[in-house]
Amino acid sequence: MQASEIDVRGLRLHVRRGGRGAPLLFLHGAQGLNGSEPGLDALSSHFDVIAPDHPGFGRSADSETIEDASDLAFFYLDVIEFLGLRSVHVVGQCIGGWVALEMAIRSTARIESLVLANSAGIRVKGVPRADMFVCSEDDLLKMLFAGPGGAEWLKSWRATPELEDLYDRNRAAAARYSWSPRLFNPKLERWLHRVDVPTHIVWGREDRVIPQAYADALKSLIKGATAATLPGCAHLPHVEQPQAFAREVERFIRSAAR
Amino acid sequence: MKVFMFHLMPYADLDMSYAEKYRAAWVVLPNSYFDPKKGHELYNRYLDELELAAELGFDGISVNEHHQNAYGLMPSPVVTASALSRRTKSAKIAILGNAFCLREHPLTVAEEHAMIDCITGGRLITGMVRGIGAEYYSMGVNPTISHARFQEAHDLVVQAWTRTGPFAFEGKHYHFEYVNVWPRPYQQPHPPIWAPSTGSTETIEWAAHPSRRYVYLQAYSPITSVARYLNYYRECAQSMYGYTAASEQIGWSTPVYVSDTDRKARDEAKAHIEVLFNRLLRLPFEMIFPPGYLSAKSLKNMRSHKRSVSGQEHTVDSLIEQGIILCGSPDTVRKQLMDTHRMLGFQNLLCLMQFGTLPRDLTEKNIRLFASEVLPAIQALSDKEYGGMAVRAAE
């Protein structure tokens, strides 16, 4: 994947892009991206993967005016236009899935399909969620990973002083977008009938940040949505089960998309 | 110098074995640990202690705000300040501080402060704080905008106190069609505003700004940090804003315990002060600094300094050695205060005379002994005894 910077309506956005095939916009979650996500490489065997750092995350600039997932949604609809994409598959994980849904209820004119991976956005009452902000680092790794992969992942963020800073920056950016209400927009659910593109829900089964019950709820709220569960996987399918994750995305888009 | 007695009103009856099951006395500690009958006793006892200090000649008495924790039982310091208002005659009532920005509607607190100021005939001091990081978990306010909200809440409240209403407030975080606070504060243009903090650069620079010149109150910290932050306020006024800060703009808050001898003071204070630092102030890093609560730069500094107040096991000796607390005979404590004043020149001192599990009898003894043996000498200190920045440089 090649990193570059684009300027969208005055905002400097850091974008990784690579691979061949139909364009696929990957919207990351609360943990951001550091370039060592094997799931994105796997997707790039089948798609032209476009993976930006959200404003305030990673190497993208801060924005005064992009304050929540709704703002991010309008912003990414602008990004799609800016990149001249007429038809794009949107894959979003965690906060990225939330943004994908916020985009889809506004306009699917240029969206071909949606994949929601351990997606934020709604609240399923009575289902306890683990808090990824208040917990210790050890506990966070146990929430994000079903297996022992957390240590390796954390090490990838400790590789350079710059990445260490970006790790903290991403935590702050995630809090900015999702602190309260935590990881959802109370109004989103009432508009999900507007999602009129093929939608697939992929879920790391062991996720405690956004548990499996959320996958079930999203499936029932989005017309025609299909769902797949990834065992041995928690919150970060593109990191913990990259091949299975990429297979699910590829299979869905090949079979279900227009 | 103006000397205040400050109270945190801790839940002293806490079952300290909580620490085996919970990682903090904040946010996640179940409120089943709180017994309302014991709470009733404690609140009344603590109010008595503050009233005693007012009777014995302290210039003021002070309360503050913390939420959902055992460290300090004043989610609303307005309640305790109100209770004290009618039981004292001349002492200042200092709310240090109230987190206006934790409220969706900061005007409710502005109204309450104006009421207290009217009831007391202008004895109120208003402290404005962001609230510590844990507050942002407990109250659900987004920590990443806490500085901006703090500053805007301040602007709203000052305007509400000083501008003729009704007017519309058109902010980024707060929008109100009708700002028209009744009652207006007794003190004109408004009660003195203080900015208590643990040492945030942003807060110091904000407080020192020539349009504000607010009292910066340094919360208890190792004395080297206290010196750094208090001097930074003066430097900031001088080099950033081009004026010389008055010593009245500078305050220090510290736990104080006096007894007949140094040895006795240590022995009596030991268990109780260690509970304060090791149990009640037990706050993991993630809780005290939620993401975005500190600027990226401050977070980096904080990580490299480690944590000197919370996060490590303290003993009474280590606390004394680091200058986090003052503990000893009246002679020792008086001398330490005079020496520190000569170095730093603060004209406001907040003494935490009850801490942790310190019981009623020892607290009362502490207040009385301090009031008779230390207070008069300290109150007499003025800028004449301050050595100025030159002394600091020499030392």
Tell me, what's the ipTM? 0.94
Q: Are A114 and A25 in contact (CB under 8 A)?
A: no
Q: Which residues in chain A are closer than 8 Å to B143, comparing Cβ atoms? A: 175, 179
Q: What is the CATH number of the domain that holds A245?
A: 3.40.50.1820
Average of per-residue pLDDT across B140-155: 97
Among positive and negative, which fits the CA dihedral B362, B368, B372, B377? positive
For B266, the token pair is 């240590």
Q: Distance (Å, rounded) from C-alpha B4 to C-alpha B50?
A: 10
pLDDT at site A249: 98
Range of the domain at A86: 2-256
Please tell me the predicted confidence (pLDDT) of residue B390: 59
pLDDT at A22 over 60: yes
Q: What is the DSSP string of chain A?
A: -EEEEEEETTEEEEEEEE-SSEEEEEE--TT---S--HHHHHHTTTEEEEEEPPTTSTTSPP-SS--SHHHHHHHHHHHHHHTT-SSEEEEEETHHHHHHHHHHHH--TTEEEEEEES--B---TT-----TTTS-HHHHHHHH-SSTTHHHHHHHHSSSHHHHHHHHHHHHHHHHHHTTTTTB-TTTGGGGGG--S-EEEEEETT-SSS-HHHHHHHHHHSTT-EEEEETT--S-HHHHSHHHHHHHHHHHHHHH--
Please give the average per-residue pLDDT across A18-31, as a whole number. 98
Kindly determine whether residue B27 and residue A133, on different chains, have CB atoms separated by under 8 Å: no
pLDDT at B303: 76
Please choose, from the candidates A111, A101, A97, the residue with its C-alpha nearest in 3D space to the C-alpha of residue A197.
Answer: A111
Query: What backbone torsions phi and psi does residue A197 show, to the nearest 5 degrees?
Result: -120, 155
Residue of B286, B294, B298 to mutate, interface with A, max A Cβ within 10 Å: B286
Q: Which residue has the tokens 């060592």?
A: A36
Q: What is the band of B311 on the pLDDT scale with cuts at 50, 70, 90?
A: low
Q: Which pLDDT tens digit goes with each residue over B25-60?
A: 999 999 999 999 999 999 999 999 999 999 999 999
∠ Cα A62 B146 A31 (to 5°): 50
Q: Is B166 on the interface with A (CB under 8 A)?
A: no
Residues of B in contact with A135 (CB under 8 A): 286
The pLDDT of residue B305: 64
Nearest to A172 among B286, B291, B300 (CB): B291
- The pLDDT value recorded for residue A257 is 55
A134, A137, A168: residue with CB nearest B27: A134
Q: Is A133–B286 a contact, with Cβ atoms under 8 angstroms apart?
A: yes
Reduced to 3 states (helix: H, G, I; strand: E, B; else coil), residue B93 is: strand
Chain pair A-B, CB pairs under 8 angstroms? 48
**According to the model, what pLDDT value does residue B300 have?**
82
Closest approach of B100 to chain A, Cα-based (Å): 18
Which residue, A200, A176, A195, A186, is CA-closest to A253? A200
Residue of A nearest to B294 (CA): A172
CB contact under 8 A, A165 and B296: yes
Give SS3 for B350: strand
Chain B residue whose CA is closest to A166:
B296
Q: What is the residue whose two structure tokens read 């190792």?
A: B222
Task: Give the pLDDT of residue B299.
Answer: 86
Torsion region of B354: left, alpha or beta (phi above 0 gives left; psi -120 to 50 gives alpha): beta
Contacts of A68 in chain B (CB under 8 A): none
Q: What is the pLDDT of chain A when averaged over all its residues?
A: 97
Query: Is 90 exceeded by the pLDDT of residue B310?
Result: no
Is B142's Cβ below 8 Å from some Cβ in A? yes
Q: Which helix (H) or strand (E) holds B56?
A: none
Of B140, B142, B284, the CB nearest to A176: B142
Distance of residue B82 Cα from the nearest chain A Cα, in angstroms: 32
Average pLDDT over residues A156-168: 96
Name the minimum distance, in Å, from the CA of A170 to any CA of chain B.
9
pLDDT of residue B308: 46
| pLDDT tens digit sequence for B225-238 | 999 999 999 999 99
Percent of chain B with pLDDT over 70: 96
Phi and psi torsions of B8, nearest 5°: -100, -20
Q: Tell me if chain A has a CB within 8 Å of the CB of B299.
A: yes
User: Superfamily for B2-394?
Assistant: Luciferase-like domain (3.20.20.30)
What does the alpha-carbon distance between residue B293 and residue B286 come to, in Å, rounded to a whole number? 10
Average pLDDT over residues B198-203: 90
Question: Does B139 touch chain A if contact means CB atoms closer than 8 Å?
Answer: no
Give the chain B residue whose CA is nearest to the CA of A67. B145
What's the order of all strands across the beta sheet hosting A226-230? A2-8, A11-18, A47-52, A22-27, A88-93, A111-117, A199-204, A226-230
* Chain segment B173-193, per-residue pLDDT in tens: 999 999 999 999 999 999 999
* pLDDT for res B307: 47
Q: Enter the tokens of residue A222.
A: 């989005």
Contact list, A173 vs chain B (CB under 8 Å): 144, 292
Of A144, A148, A214, nearest to A174 by C-alpha is: A144
Tell me if B291 and A180 make a contact (CB, 8 A cut-off).
no
| Mean pLDDT taken over chain B | 95
Got the DSSP string for B210-261?
TTT-PEEEEPS--HHHHHHHHHHHHHIIIIITSSPPPGGGEEEEEEEEE-SS
Tell me what pLDDT residue B391 has: 57
Burial string for B192-221 (b: 16+ CB within 10 Å, else e) reads ebbbbbbbbbbbbbbbbeeeebbbbbbbbb
Sort strands A2-8 and A11-18 into parallel, antiparallel or unpaired: antiparallel
Check B300 against A165: CB less than 8 A apart: yes
* The predicted structure's pLDDT at residue B309: 47
Domain boundaries, chain B: 2-394
Q: Is the pLDDT of residue A130 over 90?
A: yes
Distance CA A60, CA A73 (A): 16
Inter-chain contact B286–A136, Cβ cutoff 8 Å?
A: yes
Closest Cα in chain A, distance from residue B297 (Å):
10
Residues of A with CB under 8 A from a CB of B: 133-137, 165, 168-169, 171-176, 179-180
- Give A135→chain B minimum CA distance, Å: 7
- A168 and B296 in contact by Cβ < 8 A? yes
Per the structure, how many domains does chain A have? 1
DSSP per residue, A68-135 = SHHHHHHHHHHHHHHTT-SSEEEEEETHHHHHHHHHHHH--TTEEEEEEES--B---TT-----TTTS
Question: Does the beta-carbon distance from B290 to A134 stay under 8 Å?
Answer: yes
The b-or-e profile of A51-67 (16+ CB within 10 A means b, else e) is bbbbbbbbbbeebeebb
Residues 22-51 of B with CB under 8 A from A: 23, 27-28
Which residues are CB-contacts of B135 (< 8 A; sequence separation ≥ 6)?
A: B66, B67, B99, B102, B141
CA–CA dist B21, B275 (Å, integer): 17
pTM: 0.95
- Determine the average pLDDT of the residues in B263-278: 98
Q: Which residues of B touch A176 (CB under 8 A)?
A: 142, 144-145, 292
